[in-house]
Amino acid sequence: MPFTRDDLFAKLAELGIETTTLEHEAFFTVAESRHAKDALAGGHTKNLFLKDKKDNVFLVTAEYDAAIDLKRIHEKIGASGRVTFGKPELLMELLGVIPGSVTSFGAINDTAGRVTVVLDAALMEHAVINAHPLVNTATTSIRREDLVRFLEAVGHPPKIVAVSDGKVSFDEAPAEG
C-alpha cells in the first residue's frame, strides 16, 4: 500500500520540515492551477515521469512553465537513449500516485530506489517550491533545501541539472504530472 498524504506529512514532521498546504479543487493541468500559483509564492512545478529503453525511470521536476525538449532530455538526465512517458501502472507502482498527481514527494513510495529524481536547476533558484502532496487537491510549499533533505532522507538524493530551455507561455504549458 503506498504512503498517503498523511504519511507524507508525518515523515516531513519527523524530519523537522515545516510546510504549508493550500487545499483546492483537483488540478490536472498547469492552466487549471492558476489560482494556486497566484496564492502561493515560490516556484510552481510540473513533473515528467520518464522511462528509457533499459527501463531506467526518471522523475523530472521543473518550473510549471519550463520549456523542455523531450527529444534531447535524455542527454541531460543520464538516460540510455531517448525517453518516453512511463505508463500509469508504473507510476502507481513506483511513486504511488495517479496521473495528475505526480510530484517529487512521490519518492517516498519508491522504497526500491528505481526512480532517479531530477530537479531542474532553474526551479532550484526559488527559495520555496510548491508541489502536490501525493494528491492533486492540494499544493504544499516547502523550502528548496528541505525538499532536497526530504528526498535524501527517503533514499533519493536528487540530481540538480539544467533540463529546461527557457519558458513557454502559461497557456501553452504542458500538463502537470
One-character DSSP codes across 2-27: ---HHHHHHHHHHTT---EEEE-S--
pTM of the predicted model, to two decimals? Answer: 0.89
Domain boundaries in the chain? 5-172
Which parts of the chain have pLDDT scores under 70?
Answer: 28-38, 169-177
**pLDDT for 46:** 92
| CATH no., domain 5-172 | 3.90.960.10
**pLDDT for 13:** 98
Q: Write out pLDDT tens, residues 20-64.
A: 999 988 876 666 666 666 678 899 999 999 999 999 999 999 999
